[in-house]
Amino acid sequence: MSLPPSPTRYQHFIGGTSTDGHSSDRIERASPGHGVVVSTYPAGTEADALAAIATARTAFDQGPWPRTTGAERQAILQRTAQLIRDQRDDLGLIECLESGKPIAQARDEMDWAAGIWDYAAALCRHLHGETTNTLGDGMLGLTLREPAGVCGLITPWNFPLLIVSQKLPFALAAGCTCVVKPSEFTSGTTLRLARLLKEAGMPDGVCNVVTGTGDPVGQALAESPDVDLVSFTGSTAVGRKVAAAAGRTLKKVALELGGKNPQIIFADADLDAVVDAVVHGVYFNMGECCNSGSRILVEESVADALVARVAEASATVPVGDPLDERVKIGAIINDAQQAKILDAIASARRDGAEVRLGGAPLASGAGRFVQTTILDRVTPDMAVARDEIFGPVLTVLRFRTEAEALEIANGTLYGLSASVWSRDLDRALRMTRALKAGTVWVNTFLDGAPELPFGGTKQSGLGRELGPQAVLEYTETKTATIRLGPYTPKWL
C-alpha cells in the first residue's frame, strides 16, 4: 500500500447523485500518518443539509422504500454487505489514510462492518407487531411496528465505516430514509458506502450523505422538524448539545457517547491472559475508542508484578506508519487530539502519578504519534482516573477489597463497558450485576458480535445499537383496536 498520487475529490451524495452543493468551499484532509492531503470534501452548508433532508422526506412520504417487503430490503442489504467485502482493500486504504489507523486493522474493520450488514439484513424479515385476542369476543388489538421516518445519522472519525454500519443498515431494515453526516476528518468510506447502496439497488433518496462540520450540518439534522430521529456517536459534551437541539422538536434521540472503562483484575485471575487483554484494550485504534480499556483496577497483592509485565509487553507494540502491515498503533487523528493526550499525561505527572512507560510524542519524520504510555499509582481523585483521554494511555489504580474496586469502577460519570478478571465465578457474577455499565466482559475484553446489544448507561448514552432490538430503535409503535361486529352505543 502507498500514498495516492493526488487527493481524492469527493462530493455530497443527495438523491442518488453526487453534487458539490451550495458552496465552493472545501475541506482538505491530511493523512495523520504522513502529513499530506489525501482527500477533499465539500464544506456542507445548512442549505445542503436541508436539501438532503427534503430529499429523504420525499423518499419516505412518497417513495417505495417504507412500503417494500422485508424480503426486498433484505436482498439489498445483503448485496451491500457483499460489495463491502469485494472492496475491503480500497475501503480499508481510505480509512487508513484518513484516520491514521493501521492498514491491517482497517481491512479487518471492513469485514466486521459487512457482517453487521448481513445481520441487519436478516432482521428485515423478523420485524413484526403483535396481536392481543384477550379483549373479549367483540374486540381485537393489533400492535404495529412502523418505520420512524427520516433519520439523521451523525458519525465520528474513529471508526468511520464500522459505526455508520451500526446505525444505517438497521434504519434501512426498518424502512426509514436517512441523511448521514460523517466526520469532516473521515468522510471517504461513508460516501463510498452510499454509492455501494445505489449499486445494490437502493432507491434514490433513501440514503443521502452530506459532508461538513457539526455546525451547520449536524445542527440542521438535530433541529429540523422534518427529521424524525437523530442518532449520534461522539463525545458526551457534544451529545448533550445534540440532545438539547433535538429536544426543540421532541424527536427521538439515540446517543452513543464516551467511556472510561475499567478492567478489574483480581489476584486469582489468569495473568497471562490479562496482560494481552490489557495491552490490546488500551492501545487498539491508538486508544481512540469509546470502549478503550483505559484504566485497570488491580488487586494490591499482584499490582507491582502485573504492571511490570504490562509495561514490558507495551514496549514491544509496534507504533508507526499506518501503511506498514506490521504496525499495530498508528497515528493520532489531529493536532488538537494529540495536545489533549499530552496535556492529560502532564496533568497526571503534576498530580503525582508515576510514568512507567512512554509519556511523550514519538519522534518521526512525518505524521503524529504518541508513545505507548502507562501511568501508575493513579488515585481515583485524579483527572486521568475519571476523564476520557482517547489516546494510548493506560492508568493503573490499586484496590484491596471487592467493595473498593466496585466503588472506584463506578466512580465516573460514564457507564459504557467494564470487565472482570477472576477465576471465582461467584465474584465475577456479583461484580457483573453491580457494575454500572452497558457491557460487562468476564475474563475477556473487546469481544463482541452483531447479535449483542451495545450502548451505555449514565452519561455514556441513550439507547442500544446492534442486537435484535437495534432495528426497533428506528420504529414507532402503533396500536390498532378493532371492534368485531356492530357498535353498541353505551354513552348516549
Question: For residues 368 and 411, what is the distance between their CA atoms, to the nearest angstrom?
Answer: 32
| Residues 212/25, Cβ–Cβ less than 8 Å | no
Burial category of 326 from C-beta neighbours within 10 Å (exposed 0-12, middle 13-18, buried 19 and up) = exposed
- For 270, phi then psi, to 5°, come to -75, 95
Spatial CB neighbours of 198, under 8 Å, sequence gap ≥ 6:
16, 204, 207
d(CA 212, CA 210): 7
Q: What is the largest distance, in Å, between two alpha-carbon atoms of the chain? A: 87
DSSP-assigned states of every residue in 176-245: -EEEEE--TTS-HHHHHHHHHHHHHTPPTTSEEE--S-IIIIIHHHHH-TT--EEEEES-HHHHHHHHHH
Closest by alpha carbon to 255, among 66, 390, 438? 438
Q: Phi and psi for 421 in degrees, rounded to 5?
A: -115, 110
* Enclosing H/E stretch for 11: none
Inter-axis angle of helices 188-200 and 70-86, nearest 10: 130
- C-alpha pair distances (Å), 157 with each of 24, 70, 101, 124, 327: 23, 32, 11, 28, 20
Please choose, from the candidates 168, 184, 177, 125, the residue with its C-alpha nearest in 3D space to the C-alpha of residue 147. 177
Cβ burial, residue 82 (10 Å; 0-12/13-18/19+)? middle
Residue 290 annotated in active site:
yes
Q: Is 256 an annotated catalytic residue?
A: yes
**From 95, 184, 223, 256, active-site residue:** 256
> Which is nearest to 309 in space by CA: 356, 241, 243, 257?
356
**Candidate list 178, 290, 465, 473, residue with the active-site label:** 290
- Which positions are catalytic? 256, 290
